[in-house]
Amino acid sequence: MPLTIRLAELADINIIQDLIPPIWYATYAAILTPEQSEYMLDRMYAAPVLTEQFREGQVFLLIYEDARPVGFAAFECNYKGSTACKLHKIYLLPDMQGKGAGKLLLEDVATRAREAGQQHLLLNVNRFNKALGFYQSRGFSVIAEEDIDIGNGYFMNDYLMQKEL
């Protein structure tokens, strides 16, 4: 199962959108209501939203097992004018979790961030997401709790995590 990573382009938005439903529902079914999931998917993964994220400078990576896309990441260097890189998204298909793909994708982001002169890698993770342990095992530590109002009465109840680069 050779894994490869490549930079995504605007034309790859459909690949990202195809990956999201099986990943999202496997990740958040026990954490979010179906209504909140639908609301968030519309706000975060509609084609115009993803297009804007590309245009605003987020870098998207796709990871493949052979020729099959199995996950993606999105990050932004110099986040809010700082020397920190913000990992906005990192998701893998459920059948790829625990096989080293997440580690490889996260290491690729960290390498790109270091090469861009970033000092820290930041990410938000839902406080009840099972990925919390994965991030801690990769050198991230919790630096804050955030309850982010995303509208419609919904909140993202997250930890802000940081890793030194």
In tens, the pLDDT along 3-53 reads 999 999 999 999 999 999 999 999 999 999 999 999 999 999 999 999 999
Is residue 144 domain-resident? Answer: no
Which structural domain range is residue 111 located in?
3-121
Strands (E), 1-127: 3-7, 59-65, 68-76, 84-92, 120-126
Q: What is the pTM of this model?
A: 0.94
Is residue 150 domain-resident? Answer: no
Is residue 83 domain-resident? Answer: yes
Is residue 152 domain-resident? Answer: no
Q: Which residue's entry shows tokens 């109002």?
A: 149
Task: Inform me whether the pLDDT recorded for 64 exceeds 70.
Answer: yes
The pLDDT value given to residue 28: 94
Q: Report the CATH number at residue 40.
A: 3.40.630.30
Percent of the chain with pLDDT over 90: 99
How distant is the alpha carbon of residue 67 from its chain centre?
21
Number of domains in the chain: 1
Q: Calculate mean pLDDT across residues 55-81.
A: 97
Is residue 53 domain-resident? Answer: yes
Is residue 73 domain-resident? Answer: yes
Is residue 143 domain-resident? Answer: no
Is residue 11 domain-resident? Answer: yes
Q: Calculate mean pLDDT across residues 117-126.
A: 98
Reported as a pLDDT band with limits 50, 70 and 90, residue 112 is very high
Beta-bridge partner residues of 87:
75, 123
